[in-house]
Amino acid sequence: MRCEFVAVACLSLCLSPWPSATPRMQGKGGTVSLQISSAAFSAGETIPKRFTCDGPDASPKLSWNEPPPKTQSFALIMDDPDAPVGTWVHWVLFDLPAETRELAEGVPKQEQVANGARQGRNDFGKIGYGGPCPPPGNPHRYFFKLYALDAKLNLKAGATKADVEGAMKGHILAHAEMIGRYGR
């Protein structure tokens, strides 16, 4: 009797769903695994100075995997929830074409980039990427959030994070994020 119980318990464990190490995001398109990474730093690690206000302030190279089949565009938002004045927006990029799988290092700080994507206004009051620039103290966390969307947003360049988030409502197929850290 005891052997039968152990056998049934082991079989139950073997057949039960095991949590995946790959983050899965539930979106409009069902369960999808969308991942974002950077060649410049690993998730959770320090963002190199060249991508901050203490260096050339270039955007880091980012890449991601295949999105859900109905993806029409991507949006990317980078922000710092640890800023003393509340969440600080560092980068707003939207209407990235669906076939895009990476952003090169140093995306030009202009309203429209070569692939047709548009850039919004960050909390520095500028278009494009504004790298980490925290006050002295503990390192801040910088969230790079990528959204696969079932539509283009068709907002004007210079749109804010709030504009983009509002336009994305009901259109998010999948979402991925990566966190980098930086302190002074």
Q: Is the pTM of this model over 0.85?
A: no
Mean pLDDT of all residues belonging to the chain: 88
100/111 Cα distance (integer angstroms): 18
Residue 163, pLDDT above cutoff 90: yes
Using 50, 70 and 90 to split pLDDT, how confident is the model at 31?
low
pLDDT, position 33: 84
What is the domain class of 21-182 according to CATH? alpha beta
Each domain of the chain, given as residue ranges in start order, spans: 21-182
The distance from CA 134 to its chain's CA centroid, rounded to whole angstroms, is 20
Residue pair 89/161 in contact (Cβ under 8 Å)? The answer is: yes
